[in-house]
Amino acid sequence: MPRTQSARFRSVSGHELSHLLDIPALAEILDTTPRHVRRLVSEHRIPYLKCGHFVRFDPQDICRWLASTRVSSSDEKAGL
């Protein structure tokens, strides 16, 4: 059965294209400014994808990045 064009472009390298975020959308989710998100990209501190000159973010990559940058509280460190 031949694949339809929409199915062909739905997923590339495991990234759901319909769910990729742009800079303003990610800034809103993170409750920060687009300028701050662009700075994180320029400093390679956040996972991102390049589509030509466009920068996009995979929500799953962002969730993993947030989990990896989480700072534990002193109660969690003490095992309480």
* Mean pLDDT across 35-45: 98
Strand partners, 49: 56
Structure tokens at 4: 């339809």
Q: What is the distance between the alpha carbons of residues 48 and 16, in angstroms, rounded to a whole number?
A: 13
Burial class (CB in 10 A: 0-12, 13-18, 19+), 67: exposed
Structure tokens at 33: 């400014």
16 band by pLDDT with thresholds 50, 70 and 90: low
The answer to whether residue 5 scores a pLDDT higher than 50 is: no
Instruction: For CA atoms 58, 62, 68, 69, give the dihedral sign.
Output: positive
